[in-house]
Chains A and B, each alone.
Chain A
Amino acid sequence: MKKNLFTMVLVLTAVWVCNLSAAEKTLQIEGSTTVGPIADAFTEAFSQAYPDVKITVTKNGSGNGAAALVDSRCDIAMMSRFMKLDEFTAAVDKGIMPVAHAIAMDGICIIVHPSNPVTELSLAQLHDIFTGAVKNWKELGGPDMPIVAISRDTSSGTYESFDHFVMRKDKMDASIEYVSSNPQLHSRVKTTAGAIGYVGVGFLDAEVKGLKVNNVMPSKQTIANGTYPMSRPLFLFTNGYPVLGTMSHKFCVFYLSEKGQEIIEAKGFVPVTKY
């Protein structure tokens, strides 16, 4: 009996010590749903290279990411925009020094059915389509055909980006359809003559027609150099520049590696590196 008790104490201590050492090998990542898929894929790559490191990715929006970094609740904040002045001030007041790492470029492409003669729309025209002010292609120089405007579901990062670039916080019309993934939106536009929708640049192909926005054709180049009006950098924020060689540092510079670039391209974003 006494021996059993001793073994139990020993095992419990061992477990506790293991937890203690594991606690030093965790990485808390929180923030934007747009950056989330990249962080998830990075985490997957890391879990093979560093199996004993536990990385947690929480996707709850850029604002929550910033707040978590300010409160020291996370090691890395994912943000699809730069920090606002009041977030930055709040961080500095608490002795946190936010440092931005721009890991990729995000571009939203407008796609229509290949038979649609319209080749170009302005941001204002897109705004009118999705607020329901314009309901027929005739009004945009196309054929007399009702517009079927299709949006991504409101919980997606692509929706968040589109909302940021085009809607400017105005409400989408009640007649807008919603689909739950980029491939599904692509297949709906491909088969529907009057359809218009938006996807990440990775989903632009020959089966649908990408439109110029404000007279700029979406491509990896125009998105990467910022001439395409619906492109923006995606950030990771850390408290100060991470100490070299730490997990945090490795994670924040992973986008510079060839594997990192592959992942960013696979997720439909534009990498900042060229291998």
Chain B
Amino acid sequence: MEYNKVQMNTEPKADNRSLALTALEDFKGFAFYHLGRFSLFAVSFSTVLIVLLIFFFVFQQGLPFFKNFGITEFFTSKQWYPEARKPEFGALAIIVGSIYVTIAALVLAVPAAILTAVFLSEIVSHKIRNLVKPVIELLAAIPSVAYGFFAVLVLAPFLQAEFGLSTGTNALNASIILAIMALPTIVSVAEDSITAIGRDLREASYGLGATRFETIFFVVIPAAHSGIIAAIVLGMMRAIGETMVVWMASGNANQIPSPWWDLTQSVRTMTATIAGDMGETAKSSPHYQSLFAIGIILLVMTFLMNIISEYFLASAGKNSRKK
């Protein structure tokens, strides 16, 4: 009674719906809440499931190879003739080739990337930084087959003409292109972690009489080392997993360069071998399984790198929070 009267007086045409929910409304709310939670969970979990399934599938297809052929030949022989009458599965040169181009790409990319990150976060004005960083990140948007064409049609003839190399598609060519492709990842993550180092640290350094150079190289970079290492490892993963570019630029010769430092010889990587050979193999043949065995090696390597980068990224987060 009382309640009705008040409502009538203040707002004659107001919705006089009861505040208490009916059983149906209550149930609806409950159902929507839990349905929403469940569907979001399902979507996120499906990503996890996909990763697990990939692991499962690659191991399921690749492990029989190690069971049938053992691991000695695979890791010690350089003879990769999977379709010969007496097939040989020596992947040593292929694994070494992948490590070669990855390390050479990092040697080229890391100094440039870290100096760029320092320049963008410490030296240049905010305005120019906001202009340059998106352009660097644009490098990541170029399709890898476009890089591959550049490698074969421009870089290879250039290397031959300028350095007198007999072949332009070689480890050096692939490394240069991979370095360019790894740059945006490394610059972006390293720049973030350098920027995250607090102002107090820099001011303390200046206060003690350090120059700008000393502050950057002896205070800021050491303080940001976790993030920078994580950036390098992420760039490394980008390089080792890249397929199309190395398939076009590395020459795919199944050899370990001799002498070992001669990057101007052509090499073959794990990813290129899988991509190049997969087309012809009959399903469940030893050749088919051997490619999955290479896939296992590749997966284990990137997985380890991922764990390393997660570790350093986590400790980078901790450091910046600690201050």
| Contact partners of A33 in chain B: CB under 8 A | 280
B169 interface neighbour in A155, A169, A176, A177, Cβ under 8 Å = A177
A180 interface neighbour in B266, B276, B282, Cβ under 8 Å = B276
Q: In this complex, what residue of A is CB-closest to B276?
A: A153
| Contact partners of B268 in chain A: CB under 8 A | 178
B248 interface neighbour in A148, A171, A180, Cβ under 8 Å = A180
| Contact partners of A155 in chain B: CB under 8 A | 276-281
- Determine whether the beta carbon of B252 is less than 8 Å from that of A179: yes
Name 16 A/B residue pairs within 8 A (Cβ), A-sorted: A146-B166, A153-B252, A155-B277, A155-B278, A155-B280, A175-B253, A177-B169, A177-B251, A179-B169, A179-B252, A180-B247, A180-B248, A192-B166, A192-B167, A192-B168, A195-B167
Q: Give 1 or 0 for each of B138-176: 1 = CB within 8 Å of chain A CB.
A: 000000000000001100110010000011110000000
| Contact partners of A227 in chain B: CB under 8 A | none
In Å, the complex CA distance between A33 and B280 comes to: 8
Q: Does A145 contact B (CB under 8 A)?
A: yes
- Determine whether the beta carbon of B81 is less than 8 Å from that of A171: yes
Q: Give 1 or 0 for each of B78-117: 1 = CB within 8 Å of chain A CB.
A: 1001011100000001000000000000000000000000
A188 interface neighbour in B93, B152, B254, Cβ under 8 Å = B152
Rounded to whole Å, the gap between the CB of A78 and the closest CB of chain B is: 15
The 6 closest A-B pairs by CB, nearest first: A155-B280, A155-B279, A178-B252, A174-B255, A177-B251, A191-B157
> Interface residue tally of chain A, by bracket?
20 to 34
Q: Give 1 or 0 for each of A16-38: 1 = CB within 8 Å of chain B CB.
A: 00000000000000000100000
Task: Mark A residues whose CB is within 8 Å of B.
Answer: 33, 60-61, 64, 145-146, 148, 153-155, 169, 171, 174-180, 184, 187-188, 191-195
In Å, the complex CA distance between A271 and B248 comes to: 31
In Å, the complex CA distance between A9 and B186 comes to: 61
Q: In this complex, what residue of A is CB-closest to B160?
A: A192
In Å, the complex CA distance between A259 and B281 comes to: 32
In Å, the complex CA distance between A192 and B167 comes to: 7
Classify the secondary structure of A's interface with B.
Answer: loop
B78 interface neighbour in A60, A61, A174, A178, Cβ under 8 Å = A174
Known contacts A60-B282, A153-B276, A171-B84, A148 near B152 by CB under 8 Å: no
In Å, the complex CA distance between A155 and B282 comes to: 11
- Determine whether the beta carbon of A174 is less than 8 Å from that of B93: yes
> Interface residue tally of chain B, by bracket?
20 to 34
In Å, the complex CA distance between A64 and B280 comes to: 12
Known contacts A191-B156, A191-B157, A148 near B276 by CB under 8 Å: no
In Å, the complex CA distance between A213 and B251 comes to: 26
- Determine whether the beta carbon of B169 is less than 8 Å from that of A188: yes
Q: In this complex, what residue of B is CB-closest to A147?
A: B166
- Determine whether the beta carbon of B253 is less than 8 Å from that of A154: no
A178 interface neighbour in B81, B253, B281, Cβ under 8 Å = B253
In Å, the complex CA distance between A174 and B276 comes to: 16
Rounded to whole Å, the gap between the CB of A187 and the closest CB of chain B is: 6
| Contact partners of B277 in chain A: CB under 8 A | 153-155
| Contact partners of B280 in chain A: CB under 8 A | 33, 61, 154-155
Q: Give 1 or 0 for each of B253-269: 1 = CB within 8 Å of chain A CB.
A: 11100000000011010
- Determine whether the beta carbon of A191 is less than 8 Å from that of B78: no
- Determine whether the beta carbon of A187 is less than 8 Å from that of B252: no
- Determine whether the beta carbon of A191 is less than 8 Å from that of B160: yes
In Å, the complex CA distance between A2 and B54 comes to: 45
Known contacts A171-B84, A179-B252, A154 near B168 by CB under 8 Å: no
In Å, the complex CA distance between A187 and B157 comes to: 10
Rounded to whole Å, the gap between the CB of B249 and the closest CB of chain A is: 11
Rounded to whole Å, the gap between the CB of A159 and the closest CB of chain B is: 9
In Å, the complex CA distance between A180 and B83 comes to: 17
| Contact partners of B278 in chain A: CB under 8 A | 155
- Determine whether the beta carbon of B83 is less than 8 Å from that of A148: no
Known contacts A174-B78, A191-B157, A169 near B85 by CB under 8 Å: yes
In Å, the complex CA distance between A33 and B279 comes to: 10
| Contact partners of A175 in chain B: CB under 8 A | 253, 255, 265-266
| Contact partners of B255 in chain A: CB under 8 A | 174-175
Q: In this complex, what residue of A is CB-closest to B157?
A: A191
In Å, the complex CA distance between A179 and B268 comes to: 11
Known contacts A33-B280, A153-B276, A180-B276, A148 near B252 by CB under 8 Å: no
